[in-house]
Amino acid sequence: MATILNSRLARLRAIVIDDMRSMRENIRGQLGQLGIDQVDQAATPDDALKLILAKRYDVIVCDYNLNKKTNGQQLLEYLRSQGILPPTAMFFMVTAESSYGSVASAAEFQPDAYLVKPLTGGRIADRIERLLDKQQALSPITERLLKKDKIGAVGECDAVQKAHPKWIVDILRLKSSTLLELGQTEEARAVYEQTLAMRGDLIWAQLGLARCDQLAGKAAAASASVTQILEKSPQFIAAYDLLAQLTEADGKDQATLDALKKSYDVIPSARRSRLVGDAAYRTGDLLQARAAFSQAISHTQGSLTAQASDALSLAQIHVDLNEAEQALEVLNTAQTAHQNEPHFAAGHAAIAAQAFARLNDMRSAQAAFESAKALSGELRADQHALTLAKAAFCAGQNEEGIRIMSKAIKADHENVRLVAFARQVLTDTGNTALIQSVVDDAISEGALIVDQATQLMRDGQFDASLAKLEEAMDATPENTGILLAAAQLHLLWMSQKGLDRSYVTRVNGYLAKLDTLMPNSERVAKMYRFLRETLVKVTREA
């Protein structure tokens, strides 16, 4: 093999992950021949993770078969789902000839390329070169996306496609998904159709059309498409996720659970177990939830990929199943592994309080609740706040429970999952009678602010309306209902009074926040659409 020296490659930092020393040395040698001299090695997923967290690698060459607990795909899943890999890092999955097809077809997180053994320096160099070319070609789009400039990113697509036609499919994929995020469902649909005209069996584009239907409010059409996709391609994980979203929005919790269970059958990963566990818990199927979180824990036990939330969820389920001793055992075991993680101690104490109460040890229950409260910090609209409320009710501190729950709901009163969980907490703790006064009243309070602001707007009092919403945003900065109302207020005002650049900036700020708080939401997509229509209207009139 001739030595290929390339200055572009020489700058790259690489890590080789393989449990066999001879393979690591071999790949390291091949990379060295390409001029890549900075090559670290890791024999286990945990060693790899430590290095990846500490350094920045451009090239990761990872064998699929690592050890009994974690394979290369699971490591990649963890790195991608936790956002650990920088966007320019190139992840290569090395598979054996015999397993290449099965590994590649059932992968939720795709590596940048699969490399089939035996590896040769020439092949690695070819793949790296191609990926670098692609990164460079697409950079006008990806750089804008990194800056959250979605409209600008879409605007770059045509020029990039013209200059680099060989990356057309990647460009169309970026363009369509960005259009979807912008709520431009019809424009996104056109791009998906353009892609499918090139190649009709690209499942991601077929699924994209279903997403367009979902965001355009055509749930039945979206469901029909997803079902059709899964009949033909039962391995396509993203389709199960869309099906789960559609059924959840339709209030069909059992169907959501079924969809996620099927996705677990395709990819039995810790992440999939977690999704099944959460859905099962929401439907009240505690046995299924217990099995799912036990699985998630056993998938990751003793590994750096273990997550504190799995142990907390399992302990909570044990409490709900009246298995208080097991709950405390799970919490004790988790203590060693997760004691330094943020939020763990507060969650631990809140669940322990419930377990002690189940064991009639009210003194310990109250002490644990007090410690949970002290550790919890500012309450947000999340599951932890409601777990803390549950601990309060269990420890006999109903006043505190009501206060915490009411605050959590007011923080995001239109959050369907949160509200459903709050009702469940009150039912579980024998406080069904409080649902009206706590949950419904908290919701009404939030709704009243939105109503009053809307009325002020109708009366032409923009400033008063905005003041009302801003006051609410100060108190509850993650309240999606208030954020949507604030965006709408500015847009309505502009459509009557004309363009105001500072308002556009504000609306973009609200929408960026909403993107994180409620991803894939039809309501947010609608607001993006309203923004665009307003901008078109006011520019035309100006």
Nearer to other proteins, 56 or 162 (CB): 162
Q: How far is the CB of 133 from other proteins (least distance, A)?
A: 8
Q: How far is the CB of 153 from other proteins (least distance, A)?
A: 20
Q: How far is the CB of 71 from other proteins (least distance, A)?
A: 19
Instruction: Give the separation between CA 255 and CA 281, rounded to whole angstroms.
Output: 14
Nearer to other proteins, 104 or 249 (CB): 104
Q: How far is the CB of 116 from other proteins (least distance, A)?
A: 6
Exactly one of 68, 199, 363, 501 binds other proteins (CB under 8 A); that residue is 199
332 binding other proteins? (CB under 8 A): no
Exactly one of 22, 201, 231, 542 binds other proteins (CB under 8 A); that residue is 201
97 binding other proteins? (CB under 8 A): yes
114 binding other proteins? (CB under 8 A): yes
Nearer to other proteins, 228 or 322 (CB): 228
The 136-175 contact track toward other proteins, x by CB under 8 A, reads: -----------------------------xxxxxx-----
Nearer to other proteins, 98 or 227 (CB): 98
101 binding other proteins? (CB under 8 A): yes
CA dihedral 120, 122, 124, 130 (to 10 degrees): -160
Give the residues across from 15 on adjacent strands: 40, 60
The 45-84 contact track toward other proteins, x by CB under 8 A, reads: ----------------------------------------
# residues contacting other proteins (CB under 8 A): 27
Q: By CB under 8 A, which span of 121-129, 250-258, 272-280, 516-524 interacts with other proteins? A: 121-129
Which contacts qualify for 524-527: CB closer than 8 Å, 24 or more apart?
A: 524/183, 524/484, 525/180, 525/181, 525/182, 525/183, 525/185, 525/215, 526/183, 527/183, 527/484, 527/487, 527/488, 527/491
What is the widest separation between alpha-carbon atoms in the chain? 79
The 343-362 contact track toward other proteins, x by CB under 8 A, reads: --------------------
Q: By CB under 8 A, which span of 195-203, 216-224, 425-433, 471-479 interacts with other proteins? A: 195-203
On whether the CB atoms of residues 276 and 261 are closer than 8 A, the answer is yes
Instruction: Give the separation between CA 145 and CA 375, rounded to whole angstroms.
Output: 37
Q: If residue 92 lies in a helix (H) or strand (E), which one and from where to where?
A: strand 90-95
For helices 203-215 and 522-541, the axis angle rounded to 10 degrees is 70
Instruction: Give the separation between CA 179 and CA 533, rounded to whole angstroms.
Output: 14
The candidate with the shortest Cα–Cα distance to 222, out of 193, 197, 253, 244, is 244
Q: If residue 503 lies in a helix (H) or strand (E), which one and from where to where?
A: helix 501-517
Residues 6+ apart with CB under 8 A from 219: 213, 246, 249, 250
Q: How far is the CB of 131 from other proteins (least distance, A)?
A: 11
29 binding other proteins? (CB under 8 A): no
Token representation of residue 422: 């709050």
252 binding other proteins? (CB under 8 A): no
Nearer to other proteins, 64 or 393 (CB): 64
Stated length of the chain: 542
Instruction: Give the separation between CA 430 and CA 434, rounded to whole angstroms.
Output: 9
Instruction: Give the separation between CA 385 and CA 415, rounded to whole angstroms.
Output: 14
Exactly one of 25, 37, 126, 471 binds other proteins (CB under 8 A); that residue is 126
Give per-residue burial for 382-406: e unless 16+ CB within 10 Å, then b. Answer: bbbbbbbbbbbbbbebeebbbebbb
Exactly one of 67, 82, 88, 120 binds other proteins (CB under 8 A); that residue is 120
Give the residues across from 17 on adjacent strands: 42, 62
Q: How far is the CB of 130 from other proteins (least distance, A)?
A: 6
Q: How far is the CB of 115 from other proteins (least distance, A)?
A: 9
231 binding other proteins? (CB under 8 A): no
Q: How far is the CB of 137 from other proteins (least distance, A)?
A: 11
Exactly one of 19, 51, 65, 122 binds other proteins (CB under 8 A); that residue is 122
Instruction: Give the separation between CA 518 and CA 473, rounded to whole angstroms.
Output: 16
Q: What residues make contact with other proteins under the rule CB under 8 A?
A: 97-98, 100-101, 104-105, 114, 116, 118, 120, 122-123, 125-127, 130, 165-170, 198-202
